[in-house]
Amino acid sequence: MNPRIGFIGLGIMGRPMCKNLLKAGYELVVCGHIDKGPVEELAAAGAKTADSPRQVAAQTDILITMLPNSPQVEEVVLGENGVIAGARPGLVLVDMSSIAPLVSRSLAAALAAKGVEMLDAPVSGGEPKAIQGTLSVMVGGKQDVFDRCFPVLKAMASSVVLTGAIGAGNVAKLANQVIVALNIAAISEALVLAAKAGVDPQLVFQAIRGGLAGSAVLEAKAPLMLDRNFNPGFRLNLHIKDLANALDTAHQVGAPLPLTAFVMEMMQTLKAEGLGDSDHAVILRYFELISHTELKS
Amino acid sequence: MNPRIGFIGLGIMGRPMCKNLLKAGYELVVCGHIDKGPVEELAAAGAKTADSPRQVAAQTDILITMLPNSPQVEEVVLGENGVIAGARPGLVLVDMSSIAPLVSRSLAAALAAKGVEMLDAPVSGGEPKAIQGTLSVMVGGKQDVFDRCFPVLKAMASSVVLTGAIGAGNVAKLANQVIVALNIAAISEALVLAAKAGVDPQLVFQAIRGGLAGSAVLEAKAPLMLDRNFNPGFRLNLHIKDLANALDTAHQVGAPLPLTAFVMEMMQTLKAEGLGDSDHAVILRYFELISHTELKS
């Protein structure tokens, strides 16, 4: 029999993920927080509704959370009328938010005391992939819990990979976000150099994309940079959140991140310039600012 | 009628490039410098030999140079018995070395005074691609000179792209090398973070390679890093040379390269540790050193 699914966090990502679960035939219980619009939208699509995380937990087998950051997940799980208050042995919490791995570990420990299992399962891929059901999910937790939840995750994702014990999903996500941030910065630094040296950055992009400098970031972001189109996409402020988690985690485990720290300060510069809601490709602007130039093709 | 080709610089890259020119049916004149072995090897393969760049220039239509850096190219072109001494109107110098773009421009100006055209045409891809004839060539120069030399370059390369006027080939190459160096450092920083946080970097690699963090560098270098195999490949010392040219060029045109400068200092740390002849994937060692760890899968 299909497990009953709970879902908390009905934002830009959560709503389409819920719809893919309904489409796959799962019984779904949702609860909203402030804005009732998303709850009504999902109720119309066939979901049941509940008034608190506690009530969602009480009537489901697998409870998914998709929230902005660590404090919101802690509140939903541990707060008054939180998941833990409605928990019973056998429930599995699958936190798909991108949060600090050490918070995932401490939440899992608190839930284990109630017989509740947990996976941390952050995703990569934005709203379009959430809608298409082609997210990539990086999962931390026990193999047997992963196996039980795998079909549910596959209803929302094309790639679902177990990367280790609890917290390992978020560690993989942070590694991903470190590489993406630094590669955006690298491409920005290189294209501004080319432009300042009098060479058309569009032609440089064409000349290098097939070689060792080629990357998914280059293909996705260089065209936006060359058009100076910074509509989100993935907002700079969200990437700042991820790098803050990466730096916190790194410092707690003794892994200095000198380049991430440097790019974080570039992002803070841009946030202070009012660009926090732009796509993270706007890192280009930092290099334009310090070089007094604008990319032109 | 096929142009007669001269080739100066019979190193690890130059020798297989010459063989591909011979294979394509070009008449080839080479001259060696210190070690006579490569000259004899190419003579046995059908090349004519000459005693100086001047003599090579005097009997060829397109003269290719493939040398370590700017000073060697300046010596071969402008020095005693250099190319310029044997030059005549109609000769084309195709410098395939990776050198400073501003040096390409000054050499082109000196040659223009003798009626000699020049392309700067640095390559990406190492010895294996030189052997296979699948290098990528980034070319700066005039369109008609590019068109004339295109078939000759195609005998050594799969991709030959004109990126602008003289110097633009080397600017594209520097942009390429900046991105590659920073992406190697980014991957190193991320994988060491994962390892220090207790997560198997091999699984992180598997989880992220298909997403936005994916890149040619990740595919080529992460497996080497995970094996801690730093056999060259592309030597760190050569990448240091390229970043020195990038920084020099950038500072002359007013484009600060803060991340490149930082990674350059990481490379200098490793050079001082005696790792200059390792593959540039050895940048990983910098992050291992500062985190007191070694990647283990």
**pLDDT score, position B140:** 98
Measure Cα distances from A237 to A15, A165, A180, B261 in Å: 21, 29, 14, 26
Considering only CA atoms, which of A156, A130, A132, A67 is closest in space to residue A104?
A67
Same fold, A5-166 and A171-291: no
Alpha-carbon separation of residue A26 from A6, A40, A161 (angstroms): 10, 18, 22
Q: Among B210, B253, B263, select the one facing A196 at the smallest CB separation.
A: B253
**Is the pLDDT at A282 greater than 80, yes or no?**
yes
**Residue A126 confidence class, pLDDT cut points 50, 70, 90:** confident
Inter-chain residue contact A215 with B220, CB threshold 8 Å: no
Scanning A247-276 for CB atoms below 8 A from B yields: 249-250, 253-260, 262-263
Whole-number pLDDT of residue A297: 65
Question: Hey, where are the domains in chain B?
Answer: 5-166, 171-291
C-beta neighbour count of B241 within 10 angstroms = 18
CB contact under 8 Å between A215 and B214, yes or no, is yes
Residue B214 makes CB contacts below 8 A (sequence gap 6+) with: A215, A216, B208
Q: What angle is formed at CA B119 by the lines to CA B114 and CA B124, rounded to 5 degrees?
A: 150
Which residues 173-192 on chain B approach chain A with CB closer than 8 angstroms? 174-176, 178-180, 182-183, 185-187, 189-192
Non-local CB neighbours of B144 within 8 Å, separated by 6+ positions: none
Q: Does B128 touch chain A (CB under 8 A)?
A: no
Q: CB A293 to CB B210 under 8 A?
A: no
Q: CATH homologous superfamily of domain B171-291?
A: N-(1-d-carboxylethyl)-l-norvaline Dehydrogenase; domain 2 (1.10.1040.10)
A213/B159 touch (CB, cutoff 8 Å), yes or no? no
- Decide if B219 contacts A178 (C-beta within 8 A): no
Is residue B180 within 8 Å of A212, Cβ to Cβ? yes
One-letter amino acid at B79 equals: G
Mean pLDDT of chain A: 96
What six digits make up the tokens of A12? 């830009």
Residues A64-83: what's their mean pLDDT?
96
Closest CA to B187 of B213, B154, B156, B168: B213
Q: Which of A278, A184, A272 is CA-nearest to residue A238?
A: A278
pLDDT, residue A1, reads: 78
Distance CA B252, CA A255 (A): 36
Question: Is the confidence at residue B297, as pLDDT, over 80?
Answer: no
Model confidence at B233, pLDDT cuts 50, 70, 90, reads confident
- The mean pLDDT of B138-155, rounded to a whole number, is 98
Contact at 8 Å (CB) between A263 and A251?
A: no
Helix axes A168-196, B168-196, angle to 10 degrees: 160
C-alpha distance from B229 to closest chain A C-alpha (Å) = 18
> How far does A91 lie from chain B, in Å, by closest CA?
25
Chain A residues near residue B172 by CB distance under 8 angstroms: 194, 199, 203-204, 207-208
What confidence score (pLDDT) does residue A179 get? Answer: 98
User: Model confidence over B15-65: pLDDT tens digits?
Assistant: 999 999 999 999 999 997 677 899 999 999 999 999 999 999 999 999 999
DSSP 8-state secondary structure symbol assigned to residue B157: E
CB atoms within 10 A of CB B99: 29
Mutate to test the interface with A, among B163, B219, B286 (most CBs of A within 10 A): B163
What is the crossing angle of helices A258-272 and A236-253, to 10°?
150
Q: How far apart are the first and last CA of chain A?
A: 58
- Cα end-to-end distance, chain B, whole Å: 57
Nearest alpha carbon to residue B225 among B185, B196, B197, B259: B185
Question: Which residue is closest to B262 within chain A, CA to CA?
Answer: A259
pLDDT tens sequence across B199-223: 999 999 999 998 899 999 999 999 9
Distance of alpha carbon B144 from alpha carbon A189, whole angstroms? 31
Q: Which residues in chain A have Cβ-Cβ distances shorter than 8 Å to B176?
A: 190, 207-208, 211-213
pLDDT, tens digit, for every residue of A32-72?
767 789 999 999 999 999 999 999 999 999 999 999 999 99
Using one digit for the tens of pLDDT, what is the confidence trace for B59-72? Answer: 999 999 999 999 99
Q: Does domain B5-166 have CATH number 3.40.50.720?
A: yes
DSSP chain A: -PPPEEEE--STTHHHHHHHHHHTT--EEEE-SS--HHHHHHHHTT-EE-SSHHHHHHT-SEEEE--SSHHHHHHHHHSTT-GGGG--TT-EEEE-S---HHHHHHHHHHHHTTT-EEEE--EES-HHHHHHT-EEEEEES-HHHHHHHHHHHHTTEEEEEEEESTTHHHHHHHHHHHHHHHHHHHHHHHHHHHHHTT--HHHHHHHHTTSTT-BHHHHHHHHHHHHT----SSBHHHHHHHHHHHHHHHHHHT---HHHHHHHHHHHHHHHTT-TTSBGGGHHHHHHHHHT-----
Residue B200, token pair as written in the block: 């198997």
Which residue from A171, A178, A187 is facing B189, i.e. has the nearest CB?
A: A178
